[in-house]
Amino acid sequence: MAAAPENQATSNSVSVDRRAHPRFPFTGAAVFHHPDGTPVPVNFHDISLGGASFTAAKSLKIGQIGILEVAVAGAATAPKRLEVVILWAVLNERTKRCRVGCKWAAPLTDADLARFV
C-alpha cells in the first residue's frame, strides 16, 4: 500500500476563498424590501463589489429578489436602493435571526463601495 502524500491531510482541510471580490467589514443597518414592499430590518456583516452578507430579523429565501435600502453615513442624499438576489440563508436557532448572503443585481462601482467602507 502506497503512503499518502504528506500534504494530503492539510490540502483537504484548507479553505479556499473563491469569491470574485474581496470583502470589507461593514456594520451598517439597512432595510430589505420584499417585492410586495414588506420591509425587513437587516444588519450588515460585510460588503464587496459583488454582494454583501447581513443578518435579518426574519427568514429570507434563496433565490428571493428584493431591494436593500441603505442609508450612507455622512451623505445628505436619499438612501441608496440596490436590487439584490439572495444566494444563501441560514437561520440561527438560538437568536432566530437569519444570516444571509446576497449578490447585487448590478455590481457596485468602486465609488459606491468607497461610500460604505
Tell me the CA end-to-end span of the chain in Å, nearest whole number: 54
Domains of the chain, by residue range, sit at 22-116
Q: CA-CA-CA-CA torsion for 72, 78, 30, 36, nearest 10 degrees? A: -160
Classify domain 22-116 by CATH number: 2.40.10.220
Instruction: Render pLDDT for 38-75 as a digit per residue (tens, 0 to 9).
Output: 999 999 999 999 999 999 999 999 999 999 998 876 66
* pTM score, whole prediction: 0.77
What's the grid cell of residue 98?
437569519
pLDDT at 105 over 50: yes
The per-residue pLDDT for 6 is 42
Instruction: Render pLDDT for 2-27 as a digit per residue (tens, 0 to 9).
Output: 444 444 444 455 555 566 778 889 88
